[in-house]
Amino acid sequence: MDLKPFNTFGISASCNNLEVIEVHDDFNKITEASNNQTKFLILGGGSNVLFTDQFNGTVFLIRTSGIEILEENDEHVTMSVAAGEDWHQFVSACLGKNYFGLENLALIPGTVGAAPIQNIGAYGAEVKERIIWVNAINLKSGEEVKFNTKDCNFAYRDSYFKQQIDRWCVTHVAFKLDKKYKPVISYEPLSSLYSNLDRKITAKEVFDKVVEIRRAKLPDPQLLGNAGSFFKNPVVKNELFTKLKYKYPDLPFYKVDDSNSKLPAGWLIDKLGLKGHSNGGASIHTQQALVIVNQNNATGKDVLALAKEIEEAVFNEFKVKLEREVRVIG
């Protein structure tokens, strides 16, 4: 079975079997595969994986659906959402019902179930801020466990589920959203929305601006295969940051705490003049250096080789180690 339609890189790779998980009882198939020591892979939207070889096992596509309101009052609404729901469609649906808090995370590819695993974030917001619990199945015992936010061990683009990727399968995620809008516009392109306004900004304006920014900076996977940001923004000790800032006065940064600063990985790559650089069919996107694209029928090995080139170049120049966001399968 060709996996090309099921990964946003558009990489051709085959698997032995493909199973679609559509209803809750279907999760038993994954537990059985785990207990039988069958090689398996769980895929949501396929927006954060890179296949570098054929997958000699079973791929489970999570396609469950359903949104259930758990509680609602004048201030908030809490809801349980099936893991297979499309993330952007869910964000759009919430906005349409005047449920606020996810606007900054619009247009992120993938499914609801993948959101807590990666702790997706963008434009000043992280999904952990809106999650109240995550329901997951222990793939060894079959037991279902409801994790509160503390137990999820959320960190920057990380979580307990990512750390234990082969042990747990997310089935539902519960969110608490506001019914009175409180804008989060610390990110510069969003703060500009307040310019020349003598009124409060709306959630729809923020949503539209985020979509506009993402479409301008990031290529549509339907048109040009990619997995969005390939690398995390590195966090470095301030000792190194001070040296880099002295050498590169225009280096942007975000203060993490008194000891660490976060640097934009895209800026580091762009500073090396690598936009447009290619390896085989893979290229660094000309508009956003943080994105590797499938420019010309790339193989997964092309993409990985290019990623390694980037990592080496950045380390040699800046002494900064880049960490991949994308999960390499192969």
The per-residue pLDDT for range 116-157, each reduced to its tens digit, is 999 999 998 999 999 999 999 999 999 999 999 999 999 999
- Identify whether the C-beta of residue 51 lies closer than 8 Å to the C-beta of residue 301: no
To the query of whether residue 157 is one of the catalytic residues in this protein, the response is yes
The per-residue pLDDT for range 47-94, each reduced to its tens digit, is 999 999 999 999 999 999 999 999 999 999 999 999 999 999 999 999
d(CA 23, CA 96): 26
**What residues pair up with 262 in beta bridges, in sequence order?**
235, 254
Please write down the HEC assignment for all residues of 50-74: EECCCEEEEEEEECCCCEEEEEECC
The per-residue pLDDT for range 228-270, each reduced to its tens digit, is 999 999 999 999 999 999 999 999 998 899 999 999 999 999 9
Residue from 229, 261, 283, 324 carrying the catalytic annotation: 229
Cα–Cα nearest to 127, from 135, 138, 118, 136: 118
Cα–Cα nearest to 186, from 255, 243, 287: 255
Cα–Cα nearest to 327, from 2, 51, 14: 51
Residue from 157, 214, 283, 324 carrying the catalytic annotation: 157
Residue with tokens 């990727």: 165
Write out the two tokens for 151. Answer: 């137990």
User: How many CB atoms are located within 10 Å of the residue 232 CB?
Assistant: 16
To the query of whether residue 167 is one of the catalytic residues in this protein, the response is no
pTM: 0.92
d(CA 269, CA 313): 8
